[in-house]
């Protein structure tokens, strides 16, 4: 069993009187391909927002690589290797994919505050950006305005931006949402090619993708984690059927 890279301890969250999580204890291990499933409103995206720091939990702690990051800003967590994608495309509309990926690479390499020489001087990053785009079939669209890209390509760009940061822990909020079945599988086979030590946590509704690519599945429902097990066991579990169908 390899080490835990991301952990929540007794994390409690509520919006006003609406309790989202009573208390969540969750652990993600190095190299794991971990899926979170659950019906709408189970708190899956809120979980990702809490872990990445866009939201602050009411109580409980969040640990990254053995360090308490509960009080750290989202930026500090990114610098420690915790990177996410968004469920709804969250991109730079007036920039093209090359410029967008450059933003990620320049921030990763600590070059984003350089104001006295042009972007063209950062040749390594430019070449790396082009290579990343090519890997995801976006090379031909490198100079097309993001806003005018097809939806599927915007989804891919969303993932390229996250990968550009060389994450230790990658959180994907419905990476295949809105993609065709084939595109969905393409995305996941690319993710499967990532370095083995990268831990991936993904929220996904497409059960075929979940059962094919996850080693472990957590089921969220009504503010708690009702089950955490291998894909085969989750598939067979009557609890899961109950959660989804309300039977």
* Stretch 4-43: interaction string toward another protein, x if CB under 8 A: ----------------------------------------
Q: How far is the CB of 118 from another protein (least distance, A)?
A: 4
Which listed residue (16, 40, 66, 123) binds another protein by CB under 8 A?
A: 123
CB closer to another protein, 30 vs 144: 144
Q: Rg (Cα) of the chain, in Å, rounded?
A: 18
Q: Which two tokens stand for residue 78?
A: 């990114």
Tally of CB atoms within 10 A around 65: 16
Contact flag: residue 91 with another protein (CB under 8 A): yes
| H-helix segments, the chain | 44-52, 74-79, 97-108, 123-135, 151-164, 181-192, 207-213, 231-236, 238-245
Min separation Cβ 103 and another protein, Å:
5
Handedness of CA 109, 147, 156, 82 (dihedral sign): positive
Q: Read off the tokens for 243.
A: 């959660």
CA angle, residues 122, 152, 77, in degrees to nearest 5? 50
The answer to whether 216 contacts another protein (rule: CB under 8 A) is no
- The distance of closest approach from Cβ of residue 109 to another protein in the complex, given in angstroms and rounded to an integer, is 10
Residue with smaller CB distance to another protein, 68 or 109: 109
Binding site for another protein (CB under 8 A): 52, 54, 74-75, 78-79, 83-84, 86, 90-95, 98-100, 102-104, 106-108, 111-120, 122-123, 126-127, 129-130, 142-144, 161, 165
């Amino acid at each position: 069993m390899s080490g835990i890279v991301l952990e929540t301890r007794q994390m409690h969250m509520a919006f006003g009187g609406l309790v989202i999580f009573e208390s969540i204890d969750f652990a993600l291990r190095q190299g794991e391909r971990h899926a979170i499933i659950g019906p709408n409103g189970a708190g899956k995206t809120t979980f990702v927002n809490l872990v990445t720091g866009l939201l602050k939990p009411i109580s409980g702690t969040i640990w990254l690589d053995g360090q308490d990051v509960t009080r750290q800003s989202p930026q500090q967590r990114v610098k420690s290797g915790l990177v996410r994608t968004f469920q709804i495309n969250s991109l730079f509309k007036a920039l093209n994919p090359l410029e967008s990926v450059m933003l990620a690479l320049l921030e990763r390499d600590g070059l984003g505050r350089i104001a006295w020489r042009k972007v063209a001087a950062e040749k390594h990053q430019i070449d790396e950006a082009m290579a990343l785009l090519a890997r995801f079939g976006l090379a031909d669209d490198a100079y097309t305005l993001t806003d005018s890209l097809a939806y599927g390509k915007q989804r891919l760009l969303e993932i390229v931006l996250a990968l550009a940061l060389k994450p230790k822990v990658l959180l994907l909020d419905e990476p295949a949402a809105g993609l065709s079945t084939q595109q969905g599988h393409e995305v996941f086979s690319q993710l499967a090619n990532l370095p083995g030590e990268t831990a991936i946590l993904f929220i996904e509704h497409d059960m075929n993708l979940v059962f094919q690519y996850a080693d472990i599945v957590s089921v969220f429902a009504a503010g708690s984690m009702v089950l955490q097990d291998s894909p085969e066991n989750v598939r067979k579990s009557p609890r899961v059927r109950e959660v989804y169908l309300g039977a």
